[in-house]
Each structure stands twice: as structure tokens, then as C-alpha cells.
Amino acid sequence: MKDVLKELRDEAEVRDGGRAARYVATVRPTRAADRSDEVRGGDDEPTRRKMPVVSAGKGARMIDVSTTGEGASSTKTEQPTKTENVNKPKPKCAKRAQVRKREAAQEQEQQRLAGDALQRRRRYDADEALRRLKNRQQRSAESRDPDEPAQTQEPVRVSLVQRARKANEVLTNDDDAVVYVGTDDGLPTAVMDVSGARRTVKFDSGARYTVAGTNWMEYGDRVSCTTPVDFVEGIGGLLLDVIGVWRFVMLNVFGETVTVDACIVQGCNEEFLIGVDFMKSHEAVMDFKQNELRYRNDERTGVIPFRTFEGPTNGRIAAVRMARKTYLTSRSVTPIEVAVVAEDGEKGVFIPTTKLGSVMLATTVTKVQNGRTWIPAVNGSEERVKLPSKKILGTWVPLDEDVAVLGVNGELEHSKLRSWLNELSDSHTPLDNEDE
């Protein structure tokens, strides 16, 4: 009998467990609305208690837990407001952009600091060289030091002439003993980039050494305090003291680096004369037909275009070369940048003189800016064509101010021309002797 009762109790427990599981899965979720209504208030409101949230999202504060029937509980979480969403983490792309911007600003600041330090060092070197020259001149005037090398017997000649002082120049205490000189007009002149500034240099095949004025010291670095000569002689027997030797790193219009060592001359401010020492060491050749100087640099041929003058305003015809390597797409019209030896703002005519196969160039009236200008190039082939850097394309003919260039604006069409002629006279009335 006991065994039978035990078996009945086991079967009842199994049935009750199944009903409890079905209740939890089906009936209990439907009573959630009833429990929320009970929480809202009333005298018979169930007991509630507040407890902190351990993990309910950023900005959640407290939860209300209420117990209703059979130990069930309901939970309500306070969500963060819209103003709290401002502190959410930013996307990774925005962070990377901020990092790149910060790195670019730091790099720019480092470049500025490095540039300021370089300028301070160059000013110190210039002041030190001038101080040594002044001390040397004082010692020579009083009594010559036997350890000091003697001056050269034959002075080195350069194309420098004495000039009158400008009206707007400010006099200083040291200007009384200084003679201001400049180069003779007519020397071949080139435009170079030096330390971010565009400066003009001239070629003097009659000068033994390259010389530069004192204002050039801020664009180069001192390499030696021992000068090859103590003074140079200008046109008319003018003697000028040499301060020291400076090295300059320049860029020509093609972006090629040109390194020149020059003797700094006291009394000359703005001039820079490239002499025979540079031309001989680089096997330079001056071509006055193309108006350019070709030289050897590390087994490569470099080109420095220059300009010459027949008079105060008349320029000479110059060669036009590709400023940089350019690829032309198939069957297209592409503007290409060319290098022209002319002053900024000068207007002239480009005349093509070189055959380029499938590439056609047209005569173009254009204006020069920073030694370069743009002309159209037509590629009529099915393949891409490469135009190498420094390739000669044609010649440049400068236009004088009194030359008027007519622009094509479509007014010379046949119909418009006939209408204009009809307005000038009566074309229907026959002339007196028209039958003859």
C-alpha cells in the first residue's frame, strides 16, 4: 500500500511541475500589464523598493522593483536624456581626422621653429663675418700682422660698377666708408628659388669667382672663413673686400637643385654673379640662340634658362621647354605647363617649332607667371603620349605694349559680315556705269 501511495505522489509532482512550467511560459507574461497598473498607485499599492542599477546603460540612475503575486517582480529603468547622449564616444574616423589634424599642426609648428632657428644662425654667421672683416681692416690700417696672408697682387675682376645712392636709402654710421655697386646691364639673367624666395642671378663669364652681395647671406650658409681672394676689382678699378664664402642651394624653373658657392662682397647688396669657377667645374655651355645655360650635374645635364636684353624694354626670343613630365590621354586636349624665360606678367606669343608626332600644338598668345605659362596640346592618337621634362616645344616672342592683339569672338561670321556691308551702302541700286 505504501508503494502505491508513493507512486501516486511522484506522478502528481510530475504533473504539477509541468503545469508550473506552462504557467510561467504562457500565463505569467500576460499579467505584466496588470502589474504595471498596480504600481501606479492606490491605497492597496504593492510594496516597492529602490535599488541601484549595476549595468543598465550609460546615464541610468535607479530602478523600481515591485513584487506582485507569486513572487513576480517588475523592473523599470530610467533612460538617459538627449543631453546626456553628447558624451557618447565619437566614431573612429572622426578620431583619426583629429589625430591627422593635430599631427599636421605639430609638423607645421616644428618647421616654423626650425626656420626661425636657421635664420638666427645665419644672422649670427653674417654678423660674425662682418666683425672679423672690420677687425682685419683695422689691423691692416694700423700695422700688418705677419701671420696674416698677404693680399693678391693681381685683383680678381668682376662686372660691378659704382652706382649712385638712392634717395630713399637710410644712412648709417658705417655707410661713409662703403661704396655701393651693381652689375652692368645686359648680362644674362636667370630667376631661381632660394630658401622660398624668387631671386635673380646673373652669369658673368669674365669673373674668375662667383660673388654675391651682403643681402644674400640670409639665404645661404657659411662654409668657410678662408676666402680664395681678399678683394675683387670692379669696372673702373673699384676694390671691394671679400667677407667670406657662402653656399646657396637654388631651384631652377624645372625644379632641379643647383648648389653654388659664392664670395660675399662688401658694398654690393642685391647682386649675384655666377663666374667661371662654377661654369668650369660643371662644364657649362652658354647657348645664346636658345637663351639657356647647360651644365653637367652628377652625370646628368641641367638647364638654366636666362634672358638677355637688347635695350631697356626689348626682350629677345627665347626657347620654350616643358616645365615637367606630362602624360597626355588618348584623343584629348590637355593644357600643359611650359617654362618661359620672361618677367612676371609679360605677354607674348608661343610659336611651336618642334614636331611631336600625334601631338599638335597651336600658336598661342599667353601671359607668363613665375617663369611658367600654359598652352593647349592635342593628342590625336589612340594611346597615351608622354612629354618629357625640359623638351623644347617652340619659341617665345614677347609683345610690346603698343602691339594690339585681336581676339576671335565670332563677330566675323559670313552672315554678320554681309549685314555690315549692307548697312554701309545700298547694294540694290545699280551704279551709273555698272552696264559698262
pLDDT at position 90: 58
Please list, in sequence order, all residues whose beta carbon lies within 8 angstroms of the beta carbon of residue 143, skipping any fewer than 6 positions away. Answer: none
**pLDDT confidence bin for 66, thresholds 50/70/90:** very low
Q: How far is Cα 263 from Cα 213, in angstroms, rounded to an integer?
A: 9
| CB neighbourhood size of 71 (10 A) | 6
Comparing 272 with 39, the larger pLDDT belongs to 272
> Distance between CA atoms of 234 and 267, rounded to whole angstroms?
11
Q: For the chain, what is the total number of helices (H) and then of strands (E)?
A: 6, 26
Whether the pLDDT of residue 268 is over 50: the answer is yes
- pLDDT recorded at residue 338: 93
Report the residue count for the chain. Answer: 436
Q: With contact defined as beta carbons under 8 Å apart, do 157 and 240 qualify?
A: no
pLDDT of residue 361: 92
pLDDT at residue 432 greater than cutoff 70: yes
Rounded to 10 degrees, the C-alpha dihedral 108/109/110/113 comes to: 120
Q: What is the dihedral of CA 315, 319, 324, 329, to 10 degrees?
A: 120
pLDDT exceeds cutoff 60 at 76: no
Read off φ and ψ for residue 172, nearest 5 degrees: -125, 175
The rounded mean pLDDT for the chain is 74
Contact, 201 vs 219, CB < 8 A?
no
For residues 382 and 232, give the distance between their C-alpha atoms in angstroms, rounded to a whole number.
Answer: 61
Percent of the chain with pLDDT over 70: 68
Structural domains of the chain, ranges and CATH numbers in brackets: 154-167+175-305 (2.40.70.10), 318-398 (2.70.40.10)
Q: Which pairs with CB-CB distance under 8 Å and at least 24 residues apart come from 398-401?
A: 398/314, 398/315, 398/342, 398/346, 398/347, 398/348, 399/347, 399/348, 399/349, 399/365, 400/313, 400/314
Cα 155 from chain centroid? 43
3-state class (DSSP) for residue 105? helix
With beta carbons less than 8 A apart as the criterion, state whether 375 and 361 touch.
yes
Q: Measuring CA to CA, how many Å separate 191 from each of 200, 257, 350, 393?
A: 4, 13, 20, 20
Q: Is 377 a residue whose pLDDT tops 90?
A: yes
Longest dimension (CA), the chain: 158
Residue 75 pLDDT: 47
Q: Is 246 helix (H, G, I), strand (E, B) or coil?
A: strand
- The rounded distance, in Å, linking the Cα atoms of 339 and 337 is 7
Q: What is the mean pLDDT of residues 221-244?
A: 76
Question: Do residues 266 and 230 lie in contact, with contact meaning Cβ atoms separated by under 8 Å?
Answer: no
Contact 324, 339 (CB under 8 A): no
Banded pLDDT at 171 (limits 50, 70, 90): very low
Predicted pLDDT at 51: 46
38 to each of 41, 48, 78, how far by Cα in Å?
6, 11, 19
Separation between Cα atoms, residue 38 and residue 284, nearest integer Å: 102
Strand 211-212 relative to strand 257-265: parallel, antiparallel, unpaired?
parallel
CB-based contacts of 105, cutoff 8 Å, min separation 6: none
How confident is the model over 140-164, as pLDDT tens digits?
A: 666 655 555 545 445 555 555 544 4
* Average pLDDT rounded to a whole number, residues 278-290: 89
Beta bridge partners of 81: none
User: In the beta sheet, which residues pair with residue 63?
Assistant: 51, 77
